[in-house]
Structure 1
Amino acid sequence: MLIGSVFLWGLTVVPLKWTLETIQPFTLMFLRLLLASLFLLPFAWIRRRRSPERLAPIPWMRIAMLSFTGVAGYFWLNTYGISLTSGVNASIISATLPLFTLLLATFYLKEQIMLTQWMGLTLGIGGVLLITIQPQATGQHSLWGDFLVLASQLIWSVYVVQLKRPRGEEKISSEMFTALSFFLGSLMLLPFAAWEMWQHGLPTVSRKSLLSFLFLVCCCTMLAYLLWNKALETIAAAKAGTYLNAIPLFNVLTAILLLNERMSWRTVLGGIFVLAGVVWAERRKHPRSQVSMKMD
């Protein structure tokens, strides 16, 4: 299930770019989350009524908090950022997620962080700066877009860290949790979508954008999140997080093949730094050789 969700998320950039050709970013995010929740809610509700889960109260405030970070906040920043920058840049910058998760786990969960992990974090940040600070920006490159994508990884890591301390959401099924997260996330994005449609009018839909949108809703959103949340019921979040490292590789490959994007030497070198930093930060050395730095 982890491999399936990672593979689907790794195909997100291309259909997202194609859909953004005719649909504005906020409108796309709102419709994507709303339709995914409407598809899932009936199925999740029927299952809830037929299982012992029906006795467990729904932690609305907790799910709303998780929706704000892992759904509305993430989609708001990521989708708008991708609309302003290249798919290759967005894909490589997305690889910084494990580094942000490591950093937040240190301060929020008071986990120990080794010296090698600090070195990996520094290397990854250097790679991001190399990618984003281009001497000559092209039509596909935007510093603001790169920054928004980077911010989306930070807020997604907040979501991951929040899940490490469950407060009621584990008592309901992954289907119900996913459906409610999407629905609440869509409500949070509704004002932005309404303002956008008031400014630009209703979106025009082509066959290409419609098929891309349906793929985003059914596969990259609904199915991918279901697989991920279901897998987290039996696999530790730290172990599952390592699978996320494959997403940027899929996205870079599909962006080059299907969007005809190119990679400059700075992007290649920055990507190597980012991936090397992630690998270095996640290394597990023998306890005798570890140098830890606990943040109090």
Structure 2
Amino acid sequence: MSRTNAMLLLAVILWGATIPPTKWALETVEPLTLTFMRLALSSILFVPYAWKKAKKEQSDMTIPWLRLCSLSFTGVAGYFLFGYTGIAFTSGVNVSIIDSTLPLFTMVFAYFYLKERIVWQQWTGLFIGLTGVLLIALKSDKSNDSSLFGDMMVLAGCIIWAVYIVQMKKPKGEDRLPSELFTALLLLIGAAMIFPFAVVEIGVLGWPTFPPKTILSLVFLTIGSSILAYWLWNKAVESVSASKASVYLNFMPVISVIASVLFLKETLTWQTVIGGCLVLTGVVFAERLQRRRALD
């Protein structure tokens, strides 16, 4: 395995393993507050190092702030805003499977934004995948603490992150920034965007508490799945196409399901299994033609 492929795989593993620590942290910290804390702590730890390193390598940097705000809204603030809220109201298994629709929405947005052609096989894959999501979301499974609202919030987060991936396919200045600084600024801007929502949440629901389980979960979310995972991903996509990199995201639901079953003791119902199979079938069906085109 090449170094770039290893970086992509490790990033996906770190992202896929976030559901259990996120659920544990949400036991004592509300979703928007947790989102802000994760992004703010990541920024505090990473921005000084990234800035110093970037200034040493490039003394005349031009930072495209508006572009970074757009990318941070879709890839960081918006994604976490919807995603964490969804995770708080549904099961880890549901989150894992719904997240796997990301390549399907990426394909649709690439059609509108990048004018990439979509044939009937890909539309069929999208239909099959969304049918699987509906089967999962419309069921009632109190034993797994799942809900339609939570599932739809996770789906909204998935959709907005697909916009981020498509935006990255057309660089507009961010490609001239070192990957470390690019990642750090995305996290910093995302924290600033979430801050007002977190303030309102604390004002309404009160201050969170931080038992050891919550602190350890926050450490993993900050260092592992924020700083390290984002840096690995952004560094890797400098060397491979976005379409090739997105294939690795298909491993994320598998990792997330395994982590949810092992660490959260969640169960797999027949609706979840069938819905998950439909989602993965739709993704494979839609992406097979895309990979074939890439080889041609």
What's the TM-score once normalised by structure 2's chain length? 0.94
**Structure 1 position 54, deviation (Å):** 2.6
Residue segments in structure 2 that go unaligned for 5+ positions in a row: 1-6
* Correspondence list, 1:126-137, <5 A: 126-135=131-140
Residue segments in structure 1 that go unaligned for 5+ positions in a row: 288-296
Amino acid at match of 2:100: A
Match of 1:185 among 182, 190, 198: 190
Report what 1:114 is aligned to.
119
Report what 1:293 is aligned to.
none
Structure 2 residue 258 is the aligned partner of structure 1 residue 253: yes
Could you report, residue by residue, the CA deviation over 1:61-98 in whole angstroms, capped at 9, with x for unpaired residues?
10001011111000000000000000000110000000
Structure 2 residue 55 is the aligned partner of structure 1 residue 49: yes
Report what 2:18 is aligned to.
12
Amino acid at match of 2:277: I
Q: Is the 8 A contact 2:92 2:256 kept in 1?
A: yes
Amino acid at match of 1:8: L
1:113 aligned counterpart, secondary structure? coil
Amino acid at match of 2:167: Q
**Structure 1 position 139, deviation (Å):** 6.1
2:100 aligned counterpart, secondary structure? helix
* Correspondence list, 1:1-296, <5 A: 1-51=7-57, 53-135=58-140, 138=143, 140-284=145-289
Instruction: Quote the Cα distance in structure 1 between the aligned partners of 2:12 and 2:146.
Output: 25
Report what 1:292 is aligned to.
none
Could you report, residue by residue, the CA deviation over 1:17-36 in whole angstroms, capped at 9, with x for unpaired residues?
00101111111000100110
Percent identity over paired residues: 49
Q: Is the 8 A contact 1:38 1:179 kept in 2?
A: no
Instruction: Quote the Cα distance in structure 2 between the aligned partners of 1:188 and 1:131.
Output: 31
Instruction: Quote the Cα distance in structure 2 between the aligned partners of 1:123 and 1:139.
Output: 24
Could you report, residue by residue, the CA deviation over 1:226-274 in whole angstroms, capped at 9, with x for unpaired residues?
0000001111000000000000110101101110111110110000000
**Structure 1 position 148, deviation (Å):** 0.4
Could you report, residue by residue, the CA deviation over 1:179-207 in whole angstroms, capped at 9, with x for unpaired residues?
11111111110111101111222211111
Instruction: Quote the Cα distance in structure 2 between the aligned partners of 1:207 and 1:137.
Output: 28
Q: Is the 8 A contact 2:144 2:266 kept in 1?
A: no
**Structure 1 position 286, deviation (Å):** 6.7
**Structure 1 position 56, deviation (Å):** 2.4
Could you report, residue by residue, the CA deviation over 1:93-143 in whole angstroms, capped at 9, with x for unpaired residues?
000000000011011110011221111111001100100011565560110
Instruction: Quote the Cα distance in structure 1 between the aligned partners of 2:221 and 2:55.
Output: 29
Amino acid at match of 2:224: C
Q: Is the 8 A contact 2:36 2:198 kept in 1?
A: yes
What's the TM-score once normalised by structure 1's chain length? 0.94
Q: Is the 8 A contact 1:44 1:179 kept in 2?
A: yes
